[in-house]
């Protein structure tokens, strides 16, 4: 359809390339199901040659997802393409996405290839991919710094070799919207066969222009946008899916294009990605930030009470924010809790539901009012620690003006209970020293961040921790009414991920460049 824009989600590929944002197989499957429910057209599930873990994730996602196209990324070599084809083979709608650099800078310094050799490689790679699957996307890496004549020739070769989608990435986030749009216009008007393929935008946010550039591409003929939940991606990230989708929806008068996306799931997706990666969403983040619909000033609040349209260009419910404000407490029963979960977009299986209900009851005993954000934090927290090998069993901390601050910690490590008591320069340091004593590791603390889930002194604390060990980085997040317990859980969660990554690497997984 001419006015339809396809949404291509790359949270699990480009998004996962953000330092510290790795996801486990279970997490990728969980996210893939939500993306399918949201009606994402294409899910880029990974880079199969990059590691055994990536290969398995793309394959497993290809097996379970029926409605969305499943895409794997591949460089231009035959081995990469064949591995990618194998990974997406079980998919109902498989796609190979192959790329090569076309800018003078990349061809010379990265590929060490002459332009004519690159053109030959485009022909060979797309031909091979097209012999393996019917749906092939080709990308000109660093397209926005590529000479226009050369880009036209490259695109023409890719189309002739059988590419069905042509992606024009702003790999380094350098373009301005008018420049980026002009590239699409030029290619679509001048390359033979351009009318038989879909043109795609893929923008990085180094200058904060990824969404604007993507929309400009649409105005100039692109009909696919590559984006990621919460704008995750290399360096400053990719265009944020939720911003693209809502811009197209709210400004249909200026951009008469539709997407298939079920917008009421956007907030849930944002929270899920934040929980999985351990990357907090900034409060003022457009569409999904905690403050995106908050009105603080008296004048605004007055206007809102008279007519919400005075200061709101979309209703929060449209994006799945604040669907209900019913406050829960210790007298709320299972039925009310189930209704609340479902209003917040969660359908939990029986055991997970009972577990969440018990945690809700425990929280309600400690906190007078349990708000939506408390429940989201509680359910997400339970889900993120389920499959961890190291778990926090018990923590007791001595803090205050008269040191020494000490932490008495019990961990369950691969099913075995271990405990220690350690001192520290403050209670958090004591807790982290206790973890170090029970699980010796070389990683250093790269980030430690605490924020309150709701208002009030009895609010749950949400803690984010990032650990770094040489090339490895991992994040963990946890919520608890006790800040120190949340800190211990977040640290342990990041450590679980880091050790898992290092183990997978030792077991022979290699990283693709």
The verdict on 145 binding ligand KIV (CB under 6 A) reads no
The full DSSP string for 440-508 is ----EEEEEEEEESSSSTTPPEEEEEEEEETTEEEEEEEEESSHHHHHHHHHHHHHHHHHHHHHHHHTT
Per-residue tokens: 134: 């019917």
Based on C-alpha coordinates, what's the Rg of the chain?
Answer: 24
CB of 512 to ligand KIV, least distance (A): 11
> Distance between alpha carbon 433 and the CA centroid of its chain, in Å?
31
- Give the count of beta carbons closer than 10 Å to the beta carbon of residue 429: 15
CB of 224 to ligand KIV, least distance (A): 12
Residue 99 binds which of Zn ion, ligand KIV, none (CB < 5-8 A, kind-dependent): ligand KIV
Q: Of 135, 141, 243, 374, which one interacts with ligand KIV (CB under 6 A)?
A: 141
Residue 141 binds which of ligand KIV, Zn ion, none (CB < 5-8 A, kind-dependent): ligand KIV
CB of 492 to ligand KIV, least distance (A): 32
The verdict on 44 binding ligand KIV (CB under 6 A) reads no
CB of 203 to ligand KIV, least distance (A): 8
Which positions ≥6 away from 386 have C-beta within 8 Å? 26
Nearest C-alpha neighbor of 76 from the set 125, 37, 39: 125
The verdict on 373 binding ligand KIV (CB under 6 A) reads no
Q: Which is nearer to ligand KIV, 12 or 323 (CB)?
A: 12
Do 176 and 211 contact (CB within 8 A), yes or no?
no
- Which uninterrupted H or E stretch holds 129? helix 115-132
Q: Which is nearer to ligand KIV, 243 or 462 (CB)?
A: 243
The verdict on 9 binding ligand KIV (CB under 6 A) reads no
The verdict on 93 binding ligand KIV (CB under 6 A) reads no
Question: Which residues of this protein are in contact with Zn ion, per CB under 5 A?
Answer: 14
Per-residue tokens: 389: 């090998």
- The residue number with the shortest CB distance to Zn ion is 14
In Å, what is the CA distance from 507 to each residue of 53, 389, 494, 499, 501? 11, 18, 20, 12, 10
The verdict on 106 binding ligand KIV (CB under 6 A) reads no
The verdict on 47 binding ligand KIV (CB under 6 A) reads no
Q: Which residue reads 């019913």 in tokens?
A: 326
Q: Which is nearer to ligand KIV, 199 or 337 (CB)?
A: 199
Binding flags for ligand KIV, 200-239, as an x/- string (CB under 6 A): --x-x-----------------------------------
CB of 99 to ligand KIV, least distance (A): 4
CB of 89 to ligand KIV, least distance (A): 21
The verdict on 48 binding ligand KIV (CB under 6 A) reads no
Binding flags for ligand KIV, 159-198, as an x/- string (CB under 6 A): --------x-x-x---------------------------
> Distance between alpha carbon 370 and the CA centroid of its chain, in Å?
27
Task: Give the C-alpha separation, 363 to 481, whole Å.
Answer: 7
Spell out the alpha helix ranges (H) of 313-411: 334-343, 350-366, 372-385
Nearest C-alpha neighbor of 464 from the set 15, 21, 13: 21
CB of 420 to Zn ion, least distance (A): 44
Question: What number of chain residues touch ligand KIV (CB under 6 A)?
Answer: 9
Q: Which residue reads 């029970």 in tokens?
A: 438
Query: Which residues of this protein are in contact with ligand KIV, per CB under 6 A?
Result: 14, 99, 139, 141, 167, 169, 171, 202, 204
């Amino acid at each position: 359809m001419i006015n339809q824009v396809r949404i291509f989600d790359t949270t699990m590929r480009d998004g996962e390339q953000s330092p510290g944002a790795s996801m486990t197989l279970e997490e990728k499957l969980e996210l893939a199901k939500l993306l399918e429910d949201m009606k994402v057209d294409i899910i880029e599930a990974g880079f199969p040659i990059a590691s055994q873990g990536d290969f398995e994730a793309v394959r497993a996602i290809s097996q379970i997802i029926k409605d969305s196209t499943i895409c794997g990324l591949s460089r231009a070599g035959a081995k990469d393409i064949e591995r990618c084809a194998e990974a997406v083979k079980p998919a109902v709608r498989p796609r190979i996405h192959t790329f090569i650099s076309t800018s003078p800078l990349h061809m010379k310094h990265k590929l060490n290839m002459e332009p004519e050799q690159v053109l030959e490689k485009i022909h060979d790679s797309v031909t091979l991919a097209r012999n393996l699957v019917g749906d092939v996307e080709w990308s000109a890496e660093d397209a926005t710094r590529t000479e226009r004549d050369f880009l036209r020739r490259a695109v023409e070769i890719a189309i002739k070799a059988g590419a069905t989608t042509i992606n024009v990435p702003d790999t380094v986030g350098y373009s301005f919207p008018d420049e980026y749009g002009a590239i699409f216009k030029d290619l679509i008007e001048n390359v033979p066969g351009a009318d038989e393929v879909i043109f795609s935008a893929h923008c990085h946010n180094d200058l904060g222009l990824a969404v604007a550039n993507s929309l400009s591409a649409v105005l100039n003929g692109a009909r696919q946008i590559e984006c990621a939940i919460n704008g995750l991606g290399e360096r400053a990230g990719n265009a944020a899916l939720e911003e693209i989708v809502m811009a197209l929806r709210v400004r249909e008068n200026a951009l008469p294009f539709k997407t298939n996306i079920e917008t009421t799931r956007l907030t849930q997706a944002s929270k899920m990605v934040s929980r999985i990666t351990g990357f907090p969403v900034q409060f003022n983040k457009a569409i999904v930030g905690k403050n995106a619909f908050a009105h603080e000033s008296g004048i605004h609040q007055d206007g809102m009470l008279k007519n919400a349209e005075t200061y709101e260009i979309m209703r929060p419910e449209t994006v799945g924010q604040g669907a209900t404000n019913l406050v829960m407490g210790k007298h709320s029963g299972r039925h009310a809790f189930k209704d609340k979960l479902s209003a917040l977009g969660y359908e939990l299986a029986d055991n997970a539901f009972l577990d969440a209900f018990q945690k809700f009851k425990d929280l309600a005993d400690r906190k007078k009012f349990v708000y939506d954000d408390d429940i989201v934090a509680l359910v997400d927290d339970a889900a993120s620690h389920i499959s961890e090998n190291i778990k926090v069993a018990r923590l007791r901390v001595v803090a205050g003006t008269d040191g020494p601050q000490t932490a008495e910690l019990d961990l369950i490590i691969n099913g075995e209970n271990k405990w220690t008591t350690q001192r520290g320069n403050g209670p958090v340091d004591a807790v982290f020293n206790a973890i170090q004593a029970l699980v010796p590791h070389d990683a250093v603390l790269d980030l430690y961040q605490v924020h309150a889930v709701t208002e009030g002194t009895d609010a749950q604390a949400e803690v984010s921790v990032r650990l770094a060990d040489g090339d490895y980085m991992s994040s963990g997040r946890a919520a608890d009414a006790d800040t120190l317990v949340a800190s211990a859980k977040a640290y342990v969660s990041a450590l679980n991920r880091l050790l898992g990554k290092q183990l997978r690497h030792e077991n022979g997984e290699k990283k693709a460049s």
